[in-house]
Structure formats: structure tokens, C-alpha cells
Structure 1
Amino acid sequence: MQKNKGEVFRISILFVFFIGNIIAQDSIAIKKILSFQEELNKDFASEETSPLTPKDLERFKTLHFFEIDTSFCIRAKFVRTPYETPFVMKTTTGREPIYVKYGEAHFILQKKPYVLQIYQNQGLKTQPEFEDYLFLPFTDLTNGESSYAGGRFIDLKIPEGDYIIIDFNTSYNPYCAYNDRYSCPIPPEVNHLDVKIPVGVKTYKKYPENK
């Protein structure tokens, strides 16, 4: 009996430690997401960095975000694809940026397997501040409803190992969602997710608080 009690106690301690670790990880993730939202709002509120028209900038108060959901912070298997041929990614204008498929992210979301292609901009990679920058454009079932019809983007860094963190809470709209004078990449069809991703930045509307 005493032995059983000791075993139960050890299991209880491990369970508490496990739950505590999950809570701590969630707390760190939420802080990063809130920081992302704060920085994005600062960029949009600044005359120097905002993509908004002068008229919209005068009325701007805040971007609108879905509620944070850390279940959409994904640890994906990262498969590098070093022998891909550079290609022109389609844009909303005649601009022809050159990208290369840098790798694939393999992950499970809501019990279903998905694969997303991750790209590297061949022009940006020559700049020191962007040499480890990766680009993830995607579409999902919220597009045209609660999120921008043209899809959203996520900025990533080249991982050191074989896994990469994709936090959909940090997905944002291309600048052409706010201002027609911008030219934006169009997410390749292969990067469509047949599921709703109700996190990140919502579609831009001139809500009362932005008027």
C-alpha cells in the first residue's frame, strides 16, 4: 500500500510539472504575440512606415486581430529543399520578384496533416538584415470573410535544426489590403489550407474607431 501511495505521489508531481510547463510555454507565446501586435500597430500609426493612405492614417486607431489562440502556434517538421529553381512569384501588379522554395513545413493541425512551402526572396537575401529571412504566404477558409481575401503572410527565420515554429497568430495582411499603390505577392495555390485559421490580423475595415 505504501509503495502504491509513493507511486501515485510521483505521478502527481510529474503531472503538476507537465501542466506547469505547458502554462509557462503558453505565457511566453502570448507575450510574443502581444509584442507582435503592438509593433505592428506602431508601424501602422507612423507616417514613416504606415501603408495607409494619408486620409486613413488620420483616422487610424488600431488594427483588428482575432483572439489569440496558442493552439495555432505550430512546431512543424522542416524539410529543406536545396536544389529548387528560382521562380517569379505572381504579384498584384506587373512586378516580378524572384523567390526560391527554401523548404517545406510538415505539421498536424486539428488532427489533419498539412504541408506548406516556405520561400526565400532572392533579392532580400543579399541584404545582411534579411539574410536569414523566410517568407510564408498562405490562404485559408477565412479569406474573404473575416480575413483578407488575398491571403496572409508570416515572416520566419531560417531554423538551425529540423523543426520550425509557425505561429499563425502572427499572420498579417499584405500592404495592398490597405492601399492599392502597393504590389504584393499572391500566395501560390499549393499553400492553401483547407481549414479556417481564425488568428492573426483580420480583414481591414474602416470601423467606427478608425474613423
Structure 2
Amino acid sequence: MTNAEPATGTGGTEDGSAAERPARAVTAVQTADWRRRVFALYASVRRLAAHDPAEAHAHWTSCRNDLFSSHPASPLLPEDLEGFTGLPVTRYDPDWRFELPIHPAAEAVRMDVETGTDGVVPFELLGTVRVPLAGTLDVWRLSSYGGGLFVPVKDALAGRPGGTYGGGRYLIDTIKGADLGLDTDDGEASLVLDFNFAYNPSCAYDPAWACPLAQAGNTLPVDIPVGERYAGA
């Protein structure tokens, strides 16, 4: 979303409705361990991708399957854990990996996301990246405690049978560990955006979660056939 007015109601389930966090018996220590494992996973991904992005993707897919199937903080519902054989992730396609400069925002833009019991989470537009043959994506900065970059994406397959989650997927969410790489060596920031690593937000697995969803500035009018698909679509 790129207008200059505050935006509310941008978090929720696929249909945009607000939702509370799930009342599961997940402890703070279990949540912290989940985060620690995700941060470590993406550190491995960045290291492996420097030489072999496909190997990094295979490692990412395998480790996420292990986490989702066995960790007590998994967002999967109990009925979805029964017979779980892996997340629906496509094979790696190198044509969807880019390193793109961040073009600074021309004006201050704020996005306020209502996330149930966490209250309103504020984001500020940092800039945009131009994806070859696809369009432009907004790059957001979390402006509350912890900071972090956030890049969701919604493509033309969203909500279609066999397609992607209707509310969009996440590419970058650095405060949660999802970080594919940032280069500032030449004085200008550039992001590694590899759509093969696009993944579903928690609300795609459990509608009790409230998630920031991709708005107009993070919607691309093309099919993005790589990354995690949505089994419910």
C-alpha cells in the first residue's frame, strides 16, 4: 500500500478479517527456540546461496519441513500434522533470483497493521524494488521496537486452484529471520529477492493468526510459479 494516508485493517486472514492469535499452549521459550532456528536456517541459506542457490533452496525446504512437522511452535493445525509429508514447495528455478537496488521512497508513507492482541503494528515505506518483467514491489520498514525490513508479495496465482495463498506470501521479514541478503558495499542498498523462497504467512495455516497481508504496492500482475504454493487453493 503506497498512499500517504494511514492504512488500517491490513492484517488478518485471507479475506481481510481481523483475527486473534491462536490460544495454543506454546510457551515463550518454545517460540524463542523457533525464532532461533529460523534465524540459523536463513544464515545457512545465505552462506550456501553464495555458491549454489539451488542447494540453499533444498536445504531451506528440508529444514522447514522438519520444523513444521516436529516443533511445538509449528503453525500447522493438529489435523494438518496428521499425515504431513512436506510443504508444497516447487522446484528451484534460477530465473526467479534477483539482486535489486532499493529506490528510496519519494514521500513518507505509513501502513498501520491491526494484529489482534499485538495491537497496531506500524510500518514505513523505505522504498521500492523493480522486478524485471514483473513490476514494482514496496519495501517496508517496521518502525516499532526491533525494526526490520518486510517485503510481502501477491501474484496472479493468488487464490486460484493449485495456486498461491490468496492473501499473498512473504519474501523478506527480517525481524522474524527471513533474510536472503542485503548489500550496502557501494553505498546504495540492494536486496536479494529470490522468489523460490516465497513462503506462506502463519494465517495461511491457521486462520486464528492475524498477519500483515500484501497490499496494492506489493501485488504483481504476473504468475510467480515458484516458492511455496497453497494446499487450500
Please confirm whether the aligned pair reaches a TM-score higher than 0.5, indicating the same fold.
Answer: yes
Deviations 1:132-181 (A, max 9, x none): x3111111111112111111111245532432211000000111111111
1:137 aligns with 2:161: no
C-alpha displacement of 1:61? 1.9
1:77 aligns with 2:101: yes
1:147 aligns with 2:147: no
1:67 aligns with 2:109: no
* Structure 1 pair 39–108 and aligned structure 2 pair: CA distance change class (3 A): same
Q: Please say which structure displays the higher CA radius of gyration.
A: 1
Preserved contact between residue 151 and residue 187 of structure 1 (Cα < 8 Å) = yes
- Matched AA of 1:55: E
Deviations 1:35-69 (A, max 9, x none): 22122212211232310112222332200112211
- Moved beyond 4 Å, runs of 4+: 90-95
- Matched AA of 2:211: C
Aligned residues between the structures: 173
Q: How does 1:21-100 map to 2 (within 5 A)?
A: 28-81=52-105, 84-89=108-113, 95-100=119-124
80-89 or 145-154, which moves further after superposition? Answer: 80-89
Secondary structure of the equivalent of 1:33?
Answer: helix
Deviations 1:99-139 (A, max 9, x none): 11122112313xx6x2110112223xx33xxx5x3111111
Structure 2: which 5+ residue stretches go unaligned? 1-48, 173-178
Distance of 1:181 and 1:39 partners within structure 2: 24
Secondary structure of the equivalent of 2:79?
Answer: helix
Give the aligned partner of residue 215 of structure 2: 188
Give the aligned partner of residue 167 of structure 1: 194
Could you state the TM-score of these two structures normalised by the residue count of structure 1? 0.71
Distance of 1:186 and 1:91 partners within structure 2: 11
Secondary structure of the equivalent of 1:195?
Answer: coil
- Matched AA of 2:165: Y
Distance of 1:42 and 1:181 partners within structure 2: 23
Distance of 2:229 and 2:117 partners within structure 1: 23
Which structure has more relative contact order (CA 8 Å, sep 6+)? It is 2
* Structure 1 pair 174–187 and aligned structure 2 pair: CA distance change class (3 A): same
Preserved contact between residue 182 and residue 192 of structure 2 (Cα < 8 Å) = no
Percent identical: 26
Larger proportion of helix: 1
Distance of 1:49 and 1:42 partners within structure 2: 12
Could you state the TM-score of these two structures normalised by the residue count of structure 2? 0.65
Distance of 1:171 and 1:92 partners within structure 2: 24
Preserved contact between residue 153 and residue 220 of structure 2 (Cα < 8 Å) = yes
Structure 1: which 5+ residue stretches go unaligned? 1-24, 207-211
